């Protein structure tokens, strides 16, 4: 019990410091670093499996509450560009994953999971369950997130001003209808639904099923009752649990291996830069989505981050956020199953 409390304290403290310095994904990366430092220095870091399970359930619930009824209605209009986006992202995932595998010491599962366009909170948890090196996955996802938030938006803002892209589409701007229910009662109901179905998912033995089952159950609960809610603080709690679980198994040998992630990082960034232009242009030319919106939809960040970024660079349409949510849901539910199949066929 003492080791568990020390691990949580170290992870929370380091995560809090990084989040205060506005480091993207700071709570997750900080908790990994804090627990890892404790383990390397003392060997006392400990996080029971139930911590990882709770992190998956909370992460799934948080994704689930992000979907709105208005998003489903809008999906009837944008399902074609959404399908093109997902296909492009899956192809990117597979190509980048195999390039990382061929050019580094990472195993195939770790390489493919590192390139999944999901969330820094969700993908490392799933990768751990699939037998990948979750610490390497988390660090590569961190690189993706940093560039997705710090570099891509300014690049997209400049590209959208190029003469060849200045003509905007005349389609109607879509505004999301967002529910703001944050009552403690509804939060507990949401956690109960996610907990029951997440546990069922775990018992099923399917990869990432705890997260996926909790996510789907909360989506259904929200769309049918409108009572699902999940405060951001619970997301941070899940990040600390997941980060401490990953960091508690981190050793000095793992730390020495981090230098080998430079080439995988460059491959990952090159792939996302290329996809941002290629997929963005396809969405722009074929589906008349303004180039800035199309490229933001392919940006490797998260839906909540995109909501802030799009407003900062003058984009009013919420289609970007809807496409990011669809990408996130697919990344945690479909992509790991495809990766599992690919690994099974390759070995």
Whether domain 2-168+180-346 has CATH 1.10.3470: the reply is: no
pLDDT band at 1 (very low <50, low <70, confident <90, very high): confident
Is the confidence at residue 193, as pLDDT, over 50? Answer: yes
Tens digits of per-residue pLDDT, 294-335? 888 888 766 556 655 666 666 666 788 788 888 888 988 899
C-alpha distance across the termini of the chain, in Å: 40
Higher pLDDT, 122 or 136: 136
pLDDT for residue 170 is more than 50: no
**8 Å CB contact between 300 and 117:** yes
- Percent of the chain clearing pLDDT 90 (strictly above): 44
pLDDT of residue 312: 60
Per-residue buried b or exposed e for 174-198, using 16+ beta carbons within 10 Å of the residue's own CB? beeeeeeeeeeebbebbbebbbebb
DSSP string, 222-274: HHHHS-----HHHHHHHHHHHHHHHHTT--HHHHHHGGGGHHHHHHHHHHHHH
Average pLDDT estimate for 147-168? 69
Alpha carbons 325 and 336: distance in angstroms, whole number: 17
pTM: 0.82
Range scoring the smallest mean pLDDT among 31-35, 165-169, 185-189, 314-318 = 165-169
Query: Among candidates 104, 26, 52, 24, which has minimal Cα distance to 249?
Result: 52
Which sequence spans correspond to the domains of the chain?
A: 2-168+180-346
């Amino acid at each position: 019990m003492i080791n568990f409390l020390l691990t949580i304290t170290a992870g929370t403290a380091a995560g809090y410091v990084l989040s205060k310095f506005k480091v993207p994904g700071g709570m997750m990366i900080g908790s990994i670093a804090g627990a890892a430092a404790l383990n390397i220095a003392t060997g006392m870091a400990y996080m029971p499996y139930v911590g990882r399970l709770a992190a998956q359930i909370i992460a799934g619930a948080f994704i689930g509450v992000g979907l709105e009824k208005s998003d489903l209605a809008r999906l009837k209009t944008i399902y074609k560009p959404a399908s093109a986006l997902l296909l492009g992202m899956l192809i990117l995932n597979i190509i980048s994953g195999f390039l990382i595998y061929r050019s580094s010491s990472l195993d195939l599962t770790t390489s493919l999971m590192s390139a999944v366009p999901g969330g820094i909170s969700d993908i490392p948890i799933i990768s751990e369950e699939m037998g990948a090196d979750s610490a390497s996955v988390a660090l590569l996802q961190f690189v993706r997130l940093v560039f997705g938030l710090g570099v891509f938006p300014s690049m997209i803002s400049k590209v959208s001003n190029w003469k060849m892209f200045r003509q905007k589409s005349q389609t109607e701007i879509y505004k999301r209808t967002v529910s703001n229910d944050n009552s403690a009662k509804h939060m507990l109901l949401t956690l109960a639904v996610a907990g029951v179905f997440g546990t069922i998912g775990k018992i099923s033995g399917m990869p990432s099923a705890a997260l996926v089952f909790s996510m789907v159950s909360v989506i259904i609960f929200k769309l049918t009752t409108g009572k699902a809610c999940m405060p951001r603080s619970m997301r941070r709690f899940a990040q600390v649990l997941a980060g401490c679980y990953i960091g508690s198994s981190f050793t000095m040998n793992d730390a020495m291996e981090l230098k080998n992630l430079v080439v995988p990082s460059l491959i990952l960034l090159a792939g996302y830069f290329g996809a941002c232009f290629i997929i963005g242009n396809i969405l722009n030319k074929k589906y008349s989505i303004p180039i800035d919106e199309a490229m933001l939809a392919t940006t490797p960040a998260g839906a909540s981050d995109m909501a802030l970024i799009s407003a900062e660079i003058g984009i009013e349409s919420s289609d970007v956020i809807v496409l990011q949510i669809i990408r996130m849901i697919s990344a945690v539910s479909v992509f790991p199953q495809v990766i599992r199949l690919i690994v099974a066929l390759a070995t």
